[in-house]
Structure 1
């Protein structure tokens, strides 16, 4: 028997028997909602061991949002590294680690400057050992306070 066109069914899900379908791969302890800016809520199942590992990787910085912002006035090592992160499309090292799920950023041992970053589109940026942020670019660098 088919439904008559233009006439709504009283219960469109009446044909589904939810009691006869076991769902062994899902338990209420494993479910959680993701709440990230720009993301919709979705239900995910996660193994408890995986959840512990992911919380160790992200640490306490997972919820960190900047409280204030200012522009750099003079060049420094910090401004140089921020310039490199912002050229690659990130606020700073904290956001880079959150997005790319890395524990450490590759740095030049001689200077401590960032050596290599991966953009959001997975393109790599490679940086020199020496300063790359020219004096005329310093005022464009944003310094975030947490």
Structure 2
């Protein structure tokens, strides 16, 4: 399966919060780079999201435990710079 080998070309740090950064924060908390890596590792097509906000709702970690997230923003301003943004 060729798609299992998608590797990022570059990496940068988030500068300011956005919906995209919020979701990256959630994937990275659960131990993944981003949604692409999560789907590869877990072999899933869909990620559970809050319909109201589009934020990730639930992620399965590599040890098969689950992370559950709130509907509202969880990534505080002081955490934003820790979020890694991968370019493919």
Query: Normalising to structure 2: TM-score of the pair?
Result: 0.97
Partner of 1:63: 5
The count of aligned residue pairs is 88
Structure 2: segments with no counterpart, 5+ residues: none
How big is the shift at 1:84? 0.1
Superposed CA RMSD = 0.9
Q: In terms of Rg, which structure is larger?
A: 1
Identify, as 1 or 2, the structure richer in strand.
Answer: 2
Counterpart CA distance in 1 for 2:67 and 2:20 is: 18
Partner of 2:85: 143
Structure 1: segments with no counterpart, 5+ residues: 1-54
Q: Deviations over 1:102-138 (max 9, x none)?
A: 0110000000000000000011000000000000000
8 Å contact from structure 1 (residues 61, 94) kept in 2:
no
Query: Normalising to structure 1: TM-score of the pair?
Result: 0.59
